[in-house]
Structure 1
């Protein structure tokens, strides 16, 4: 436990702690759904022969072609000691070695939130939904497309906190360009820690920023004590390259028992073969090497098999989303992850549209449902994604967040208890009747069907009289309502003060840098 964490805990037992407990008793309670526990089967597109071929080919890639660990002598030394052949920065991993190392990674783990009611379980048949990650731009109907600011970032964290079906606060929900590059991670983390009590992600853009994330989390939780409180995104520079920035962040998080998503970043045809089988081979090889390396740093460190895969428009070179090929890769990667016994990250509300329009809706619906049926355990970009990931959209955020409720309902599967069989209702109504007034309907109508909190189902005349509002207009109104209703979750003032002191100290250590 850091000195700051110890001091915050000591203060919290005094007057500050009393104030925090009073605030907790009087704070408005925001409804939040528990993470999804799927009661529907996974869709499997690869037979046993195909799986064995892909697994064998991935081992061949690791052994014969190898992977690069760039500017990272410590990683090369770890691999050499583990039995790999190192030639310059190229690591050749003998058949079976990476898979053997992956065996120490847990198949499931808990990510703790500062509000224990918001803890999430990652792995098994669980599905955790997290918002958009990484866009430098934001869009809303009033201001159009613009560079993101810290105010936008805080707004998206608030919207995530207020969204019932979203389990996770996420990470870089947008990139606030009005704060220095080398310091914005401190403000972003502070926003997640204070404006929400859901789980969050740490910074990965420099190893030292990962260290800051661990130290701030230590303050927030009054000591980590080996608890996993962050799940952070480690992208692989596909094809087959592990850079020192991402691997440095992974090393920090793995050593502190914080979870990492090992995720190839693939645009098919540019960063991987155009074929589904070829891409799956490369995805598996890269994940095997990345997960194995995390276990070289700390055996048992929590880690997630990631697959971020899109196809490419061969006319423009732009990535495409919601396509059949991306779906097949996502389903196949899920099968490979389960055979490794690892939690799986993929899918999201992916689309290439410039606006929250029909294209965005079609492509996002394809991607969201694909994620549910492919066995995804951690879904980043579940709401807010627009323009191929360049834009965080306010309206799309609440549109997607509303639709996540449909995923929850579908994942429940089909209940077969006596009440659900409804034989009494069928007997009561009989031939030619209707069910609107029967006892079974009266007892169950409030919970029988999932209901959107956004879509308009009014008759035409009523809809027209209300202003003939389309979905984007309704979404804009919902954004304003959620932000207007927002109240921050209670936080011990001593912890808040310790976080503020930490941030001020770190910001004062170096001058601002905007590149």
Structure 2
């Protein structure tokens, strides 16, 4: 793996600092059974703190399946799922921001299912209004399984507030069982899930329960720190990276002690804090540096890590939103040796909002970025010289050119406005917004529910919200 941002010596220094934190500062594990497991394997315990020695760390990491990063020239941006996890939705017709609803969630699935850009799916509307199910977490999984056939890659997790009787363990396990039954698959992983530990240097009980269930059920696990500078983590960017590497290593050790040879990947949503508002800032060079430093450390030491992009802090569909999505999508390819970037079209307001219009705009961004990254398979027309000779007479290629060549090599966006200045349209009724809504309406109208057997439909009915039944 080629590190572009960090020198070898800096990468090793970050890792050494992180391992020192594990053995001297310690990590809090807010679950007694987890602490007992560490104690049984020789870790030091002081209250909720666990101290992981270099020996225990090396031994545990040695149990993880070997990961080898093979860099390719096939660079690509991929849509993971819309919105990521957004409690709020921007109504692009009025400019108002409101709570997300079950209807929004269904629409999100319909749009994701009708685009080849999306390679996975996630309940992107967190706690939607209208979810009247007894177990709201399992209801979200049931909705995902009713409306989508894509691979479930969850950012949402079971919590005391979204599960029946607050039983996180039971709901997390039942959700996986439900996916297995619908997918009719019991041999390999049927879902992936990102688990965010609590900064600074802590795993809360909720995170640990979800991690435990994922390991027991042999599902894909990603640990995703979300540390904010000067708030939940150090004020320096390098300090954030050291903190995040330490907490990820601690989580990896726990998983290996719990179930040896459990695979785990790492990603990073840590960033700087805007001290004026106490809010995270994702669409910035600072965020890109934190994420990429973390990525390069993981790759250097043979730990699976992925980068995420298409993030925006803007709360409106404006120049800021477009700039931020573009910056976080394309810059990583020039800053480090990455060949895949996972994106969240429609993402707004630093994970607190989503927009359907912006989802369409971001899809256009991804399509065009891939044309830049992958090239366009251009070739020389064998009749070019002959056509140029004729052009002396015709003074135009309209009568002598090949429309098939034009269509093959050139793409005109159906969403973005290429018609020049138009001073008569408002920002909410601009051509690009109108085009986006036509695309949304078209895809929702063309959407077809995934095929499910009578038995599968009956199983889902038990968990779906009322308005999604039948």
TM-score over 0.5 for the alignment?
Answer: yes
* 2:98 is the alignment partner of 1:146: yes
| Contact 1:166–1:404 (Cα < 8 Å) also in 2 | no
Identify unmatched segments of 5+ residues in structure 2.
69-73, 160-167, 466-470
Residues 385-394 or 402-411, more deviating: 402-411
CA distance in 2, matches of 1:166, 1:60: 40
| Contact 1:260–1:304 (Cα < 8 Å) also in 2 | yes
Find 2:317's aligned residue among 356, 360, 380.
356
Residue 256 of structure 1 deviates from its aligned partner by 0.8
* 2:303 is the alignment partner of 1:342: yes
For residues 112-151 of structure 1, the aligned pairs below 5 Å read 128-130=78-80, 131-142=82-93, 144-151=96-103
Number of equivalenced pairs: 442
Equivalent position SS for 2:128: coil
* 2:17 is the alignment partner of 1:57: yes
Residue 127 of structure 1 deviates from its aligned partner by 6.1
Cα separation, partners in 2 of 1:425 and 1:63, compared to 1, 3 Å: farther
Cα separation, partners in 2 of 1:392 and 1:498, compared to 1, 3 Å: same
Summarize deviations over 1:24-54 as a string: whole Å, max 9, x none.
xxxxxxxxxxxxxxxxx97720011111111
CA distance in 2, matches of 1:136, 1:211: 24
| Contact 2:64–2:262 (Cα < 8 Å) also in 1 | yes
Who is 1:120 aligned against? none
Cα separation, partners in 2 of 1:157 and 1:108, compared to 1, 3 Å: farther
Cα separation, partners in 2 of 1:426 and 1:61, compared to 1, 3 Å: farther
Summarize deviations over 1:83-119 as a string: whole Å, max 9, x none.
321222111111253354234444679xxxxxxxxxx
| Contact 1:136–1:177 (Cα < 8 Å) also in 2 | no
Cα separation, partners in 2 of 1:125 and 1:361, compared to 1, 3 Å: closer
Cα separation, partners in 2 of 1:297 and 1:177, compared to 1, 3 Å: farther
For residues 386-425 of structure 1, the aligned pairs below 5 Å read 386-412=348-374, 420=378, 422=380
Cα separation, partners in 2 of 1:172 and 1:330, compared to 1, 3 Å: same
Find 1:66's aligned residue among 14, 26, 30.
26
Equivalent position SS for 1:316: coil
| Contact 1:138–1:392 (Cα < 8 Å) also in 2 | yes
RMSD: 3.4
Find 1:270's aligned residue among 225, 231, 234.
231
Equivalent position SS for 2:269: strand
Who is 1:238 aligned against? 199
Residue 178 of structure 1 deviates from its aligned partner by 2.8
Q: What is the TM-score of this pair, normalised by structure 1?
A: 0.76
| Contact 1:196–1:488 (Cα < 8 Å) also in 2 | yes
Q: What is the TM-score of this pair, normalised by structure 2?
A: 0.83
Identify unmatched segments of 5+ residues in structure 1.
1-40, 110-123, 505-515
| Contact 1:106–1:342 (Cα < 8 Å) also in 2 | no
Summarize deviations over 1:136-162 as a string: whole Å, max 9, x none.
111222352111111111111111112
Equivalent position SS for 1:185: helix
CA distance in 2, matches of 1:322, 1:412: 24
Residue 413 of structure 1 deviates from its aligned partner by 5.3
Who is 1:299 aligned against? 260
Summarize deviations over 1:398-450 as a string: whole Å, max 9, x none.
211222212333342586xxxx5649678778899999689997665434345
Equivalent position SS for 1:236: coil
For residues 114-513 of structure 1, the aligned pairs below 5 Å read 128-130=78-80, 131-142=82-93, 144-180=96-132, 183-202=135-154, 203-205=157-159, 206-225=168-187, 227-372=188-333, 374=336, 382-412=344-374, 420=378, 422=380, 444-449=405-410, 451-458=412-419, 469-501=430-462
CA distance in 2, matches of 1:291, 1:379: 23
CA distance in 1, matches of 2:51, 2:180: 37
| Contact 1:199–1:229 (Cα < 8 Å) also in 2 | yes
| Contact 1:344–1:375 (Cα < 8 Å) also in 2 | no
Residue 167 of structure 1 deviates from its aligned partner by 1.4
CA distance in 1, matches of 2:107, 2:404: 39
